[in-house]
Amino acid sequence: MQSNFGITMQRQSLDERFNAKCESFVKAVLSCVLEERLSEMYSEKFMPSFTRILIKDSTKFMTPRSLEDEYKSCGGDVNSRSKSSISIQYEYDLKSGRITDLNITSGNRNDRTDSGESADRVEKGDLILRDLGYFSTPVMKKHVDQEAFFLSRLDSSTNVYDADLKQISFKELYNTMKKEGVEEKEISVYIGKETMLPVRLILQPVPDQVYEQRIREKTKKSKGQGRGQLTEETKARCRFNLFITNADVSELSMEQVYPLYRLRWQIELQFKIWKSVFKIDSYREMKKYRYLVLLYVKLLLIVVNLGIFHDLQKDLSRNQTKSISILSINKCMKTLRTSFDKIFTMLRAGSRKAKETERDIRKSLSRNHWLESKNKKKCFPDLLEIIISLSEK
């Protein structure tokens, strides 16, 4: 087999190189790269009260049958021949772009388990943004003890109590807000029957069509699980977007909550790019170590390209004085994926050639790779500007 490096190797010899040592080496390289700081913050005015804003989520996909003993399935595609699946826990700091966790586990390990097992890595001053899959009042209590903060949606099964420790009626709250014409409300409450954790509860009534869609989805789920009809309180909760946080209003205002939480969806966009651009979830039957090495190499390529993306965004942000312009991560990653030969040449070449290649890549990305709003919806830069402007009031 003739490669671009002038090395001749038999296919069998190459296959033998994919072993436990090779996997350990590539995994170690990935760990070293992850330790590097990728960039600075988008703006010094962006949520200055928090040291880091950590967004975390997971993505799952099926893997070859050769991994069935090590990586158990989460269910997945019932028609799949494999009973093995992988979950990648991914966390990054929204303020810096630095990846703080990239961990491969079995697909049957749920997010709530990860929330508890990774809680010790949270630092003083951090703000944690995660979806309901990670929801755990004991873990939130631990974050409070760590002098860290969280912003989360409220789990539908979690009890909520007022200052007199009386359980809150969301039906009464909705009727009162509707009668008074209140569009957004904040109250101090306690959550969890055992933890009684004090939090700020932010309530935002949703349009009737959103409410009706939620009722249809919950009713379908309830029937599928063999449960009875939805209770009136469950229906009443569907009337609201419900958020909880332990951050003081001076650190995170009620008006900042919704646009900030919406930024969590950036991680969903990244997962889509991993799968559509880098094909991280595609596989064919192969030996265990060959698959794992290729998976780690794909992750390494993603991390390097994210580094280039965030580094360029940092430089461009320095020259912005009025509004924030954000590069489209989707457009940039597609271009970087097809520019692998240039990037590899840049990494191997001498300083002069590397700088020339770097300038070409930067010029290409900054020319027509900007994020644009679609269908009059607020996108990433719009949300950043809203949050920053509210911080300055």
Spell out a b/e string for 244-279, using b for 16 or more CB atoms within 10 Å of the CB, else e.
Answer: bbbbeeebbbbebbebbbebbeebeebbebbeebbe
Please, what sign has the CA dihedral across residues 212, 218, 220, 226? negative
CB 243 within 8 A of CB 151: yes
Q: How far apart are CA 262 and CA 88, in angstroms?
A: 22
Give pLDDT, residue 267: 87
Name every residue whose Cβ is closer than 8 Å to that of residue 17 and which is 6 or more positions away in sequence. none
- Tell me the helix, strand and coil percentages in the chain, rounded to 5: 45, 20, 35
| Collapsed DSSP state (helix, strand, coil) of residue 99 | strand
Other beta carbons within 10 Å of 157:
8
CB 390 within 8 A of CB 256: yes
pLDDT of residue 324: 62
pLDDT confidence of residue 322:
57
Handedness of CA 227, 228, 233, 234 (dihedral sign): positive
How far is residue 155 from each of residues 133, 299, 359, measured CA to CA in Å? 9, 32, 48
Spans of the chain below 50 pLDDT:
1, 38-39, 78-79
What is residue 1's predicted lDDT score, i.e. its pLDDT?
46
Contact between residue 89 and residue 56 where contact means Cβ atoms under 8 Å apart: yes
Q: Please report the pLDDT score of residue 4 as a whole number.
A: 60
Which phi and psi (to 5°) does residue 105 adopt? -135, 175
Please write down the HEC assignment for all residues of 115-153.
HHHCHHHCCCCEEEEECHHHCCHHHHHHHHHCCCEEEEE
**Res 385: pLDDT:** 63
Predicted pLDDT at 203: 95
pLDDT tens-digit map of 379-389: 665 666 667 66
Q: Are the C-beta atoms of 381 and 324 separated by less than 8 Å? A: yes
Rounded Cα–Cα distance for residues 294 and 82 (Å):
18
Buried b (16+ CB within 10 A) or exposed e, 382-393: bbbbbbbeebee
The whole-number pLDDT of residue 46 equals 80
What pLDDT is attached to residue 58?
Answer: 95
Q: Name the pTM for this structure.
A: 0.82
pLDDT recorded at residue 361? 83
pLDDT of residue 139: 96
